[in-house]
Chain A
């Protein structure tokens, strides 16, 4: 199963974040590497958005929008940074 680029998380995550999320730099809680979310790997297809670290493949964040609402799990990110 191959992935999409982090860019494709922009739509779903745009419902939650006021700032452009694909240019935000995420520090992976598992391996410590940092990079823009736009360059991360996106899985999950129609069920949800699962963003994984390019370096170690661990989950950075998990997101799903269902009729019940939006759920977002960001335990896989130490820090999410938007430069001024």
Chain B
């Protein structure tokens, strides 16, 4: 115990809006496992492949022909900061998977720079997940995952994979980058699922 030391951010929770162990952050911290990739939109594409009947692929222009949504959500990072009312625009994963014959119940998000994270399809569908390219009214900056990132706000933010390029559907759960290092497979902030075994 350190005399006179207290955590910086003792904000009272806004009703029940802060999950356990989280504090409200005014900024938008950047945390990365590697250098920021810089992919020009002319070279960007997004694909769904793996345990599917046939693969789907969109160029940047094709991606922008898909129906888009505006999303405002709270986000929660496993390192304890939360940010309320973050504003994004993009395409719902339900739209992306519309018409795709899925042959597996899991997915791995694969990203420029090599980052991966695993998700259950249950957590990606039903209006819970998007591929977003706009933040706070402007193009998603590279350090925050631009050109496009996955957004899965009901789970800890390491699941909202930056620089996402592929959704690989899998028959079995395949733990990704942080999950293989001891982080929780699913990551529900409301159950404080930070680490494996929580």
The residues of A with any CB-CB pair to B shorter than 8 Å are 1, 3, 41, 43-48, 50, 52, 57-59, 62-71, 73
Residues of B within 8 A of A58 (CB): 114
Contact across chains for A62 and B181 when beta carbons are under 8 A apart: yes
**What 9 A-B pairs have minimum CB-CB distances, sorted nearest first?**
A64-B181, A1-B32, A66-B182, A66-B195, A71-B181, A45-B31, A46-B79, A50-B33, A71-B182
B125 within 8 A of A: no
B58 within 8 A of A: no
Chain A residue with minimal CB distance to B34?
A43
Q: Is the interface of A mostly helix, strand, loop or mixed?
A: strand
Q: Is the interface of B mostly helix, strand, loop or mixed?
A: loop
Distance A62 CA – B33 CA, assembled complex (angstroms) = 9
Distance A68 CA – B197 CA, assembled complex (angstroms) = 7
Distance A26 CA – B30 CA, assembled complex (angstroms) = 28
Distance A46 CA – B114 CA, assembled complex (angstroms) = 19
Chain B residue with minimal CB distance to A65?
B182
Residues of B within 8 A of A43 (CB): 32-35
Asked whether A1 and B36 contact (CB < 8 A) given A47-B31, A47-B79, the answer is yes
Contact across chains for B196 and A66 when beta carbons are under 8 A apart: yes
